[in-house]
Structure 1
């Protein structure tokens, strides 16, 4: 990006074009700095635009890390200091020189950073779960990748930033499914916050569930379940009633995972629901292209429950 505002704008004008990356098991990350020696990245799909730090209206009683509010094309949005939230800068430290406007989980937020570098393309299979990350930032990092120049980049878990700053989404009243104890859901998500909230919804529905933390782990476990069902003369449909997948995940994204599932006849009849903080029409279209049976934007517990309930009820067991 090299501090060229026009270049930044041009890069961020191509959101729909970048959606084609999703099915190729590649992602683009925007590199940024928080004024330390660490290198950070965020999935470009979640970034709407980048600008210099604007004038921010300070407001009282804001959560820790929220610097204030700005008006952006008629919308008032909160602005967060990522360095402060990750514990890398003092609360009274000067604001960073750049702001990333992010859009995910039905929220628009401004993220203040020290500087923005450039966009790089990485293969999902080169993205790993975080290990040996400094303890202060580990809970906010969803993955690590290595660039061609050897630099390690920590990829931000924006869902954890959102939950940590504004609190967890409250799961309201969700009626249980009849015979739910006989229903099995397999879900995969690389965010600990998301796994916790999904588990809460499934517990309210009264169904049994297992989970994986990335796409490759999920595919390996699903293949193992399918092989075991074959060996014992059972249908996999007797073991799994529904598969819930995230879109972005280390080692294998949800689009490739879904394509693998839909191409394997052993999974015939098992619905796949994509549950993602990437809620643009381009991402929905990509999900449809690889064969998902439904696409649900994170995180609305009632919508998630209402989407999967009929799929579980009309299955072989009934409700």
Structure 2
């Protein structure tokens, strides 16, 4: 019990200091197996790591969907991650990463697991948006700013999973769901995932809510300061410029925990409601959200729940 509590405390301390843990793994290289680069996924999303079990192919499955596995009575889909990314494993698909996030559980087949590293989100930079068909969300520098630092490509697993299991839920529509904000006020949103931004934008548009979309906490924080300065120049309350901050948790440069704490510990901004919208689910993560001072939490991806929570807060 003490060990479990220690792990919870350590994770809480990480989220309180703009840090996180990244599992590093390898997918293979080019057609000759060369250039075996490092890839990463947040440890919070890993349920377990197992040696590759027998996989049962499923008829008429999507490309790169290997089939399903039976793990202790649970039938889980298996995605060929090297094939999806365009890598060729030199030694084969040896490891299964069992992941749990965004209300889904699935397995990623990889060639090898390397190590777990602890990083500051300042060591992570947004990708240019063109890597591997938007499956890479950011680039992490393992050795900070030193010359020749090792680089890790952080996968946008939310976008990857949505390709195989797209959300079938749609937000309520119609005049009964429309929310009228003060003229000139917007929803300030932050998310580094391509698919998440598209779902958020669609939901806000369906609700008739104007918004400003940013790609990480740092962008959102800078935009918030800009909007606050505009409000002061116009001698208006900040809430007439920003009605709500909607933020993801995992983001390069500044995560959602840090963004939330910046807002809630500032006399200038603490009146703003903050809604966390994250693929990191579970009671431990919800406890972390509360400790940061957010007003509410919604797990990805459920447009009806997100719309209902926004409506409740506003």
TM-score (norm: length of structure 2): 0.88
Aligned residue pairs, count: 298
**1:147 is matched with which residue?**
142
> How far did 1:266 drift?
2.2
- Deviation of the 1:20 alpha carbon: 3.3
Query: Who is 1:25 aligned against?
Result: 18
| Structure 2 CA distance for aligned equivalents of residues 126 and 136 of structure 1 | 19
The answer as to whether partners of 1:130 and 1:138 remain within 8 angstroms in 2 is no
Distance 1:144 1:166 in 2: 25
Within 2, Cα distance between the matches of 1:14 and 1:24?
Answer: 16
User: Paired residue for 2:64?
Assistant: 65
Give the superposition deviation at 1:86. 1.3
Query: Could you tell me how far apart the structure 2 residues matched to 1:20 and 1:298 are?
Result: 24
- 1:128, 1:143 within 8 Å by CA — same for their partners in 2? yes
Question: Can you list the C-alpha shifts for 1:61-105, whole angstroms capped at 9, x where unaligned?
Answer: 211111111112221110111011112249xx9851111100001
Give the structure 2 partner of residue 317 of structure 1: none
Deviations 1:167-196 (A, max 9, x none): 354424334324358452110000111000
**Residue 298 (str. 1) matches residue 300 (str. 2):** yes
- Matched residue SS, 2:57: coil
Q: In the TM superposition, what is the alpha-carbon distance from 1:52 to its structure 2 partner? A: 0.8
Alpha-carbon distance between aligned partners in 1 of 2:46 and 2:168, rounded to the nearest angstrom: 22
Deviation at 1:126, TM superposition (A): 1.0
User: Counterpart of 2:277?
Assistant: 275
Aligned match of 2:93: 96
- CA RMSD, 1 decimal: 2.3
Q: Does the 8 Å contact 1:15/1:45 carry over to 2? A: no
Gaps of 5+ in 2: 30-34
Measure how far apart 1:154 and its partner are.
0.2
Contact 1:181 1:208 in 2 (8 A): no
Q: Distance in 2 between matches of 1:293 and 1:141?
A: 30
- Answering whether residue 178 of structure 2 is matched by residue 177 of structure 1, we say yes
Mapped to 1, the partners of 2:151 and 2:87 lie a distance apart of 17
Structure 2 contact 227–242 (Cα < 8 Å) conserved: no
- After superposition, the C-alpha distances for 1:188-235 in whole angstroms (9 at most, x for unaligned) are 000111000001010111111111101111101101111221232111
* Within-5 A mapping of 1:40-79: 40-79=39-78
In structure 2, the residue matched to 1:309 is 311
Q: Is the 8 A contact 1:65 1:165 kept in 2?
A: no
Distance 1:127 1:217, change over 3 A: same
- Larger deviation, residues 159-168 vs 212-221: 159-168
Alpha-carbon contact 2:298-2:305 (below 8 Å) kept: yes
Whole-Å Cα distance in 2 between the matches of residues 56 and 181 of structure 1? Answer: 55
CA contact (8 A) 1:63 1:166 kept: no
Cα pair 1:86 1:136 within 8 Å, conserved = no
Q: Report the Cα offset of residue 264 of structure 1.
A: 1.7
Q: 1:181–1:206: 8 Å Cα contact kept in structure 2?
A: no
Distance 1:52 1:308 in 2: 42
> Does residue 1:196 correspond to 2:198, yes or no?
yes
For structure 1, list consecutive stretches of 5 or more residues without a partner in the other structure: 1-9, 313-319
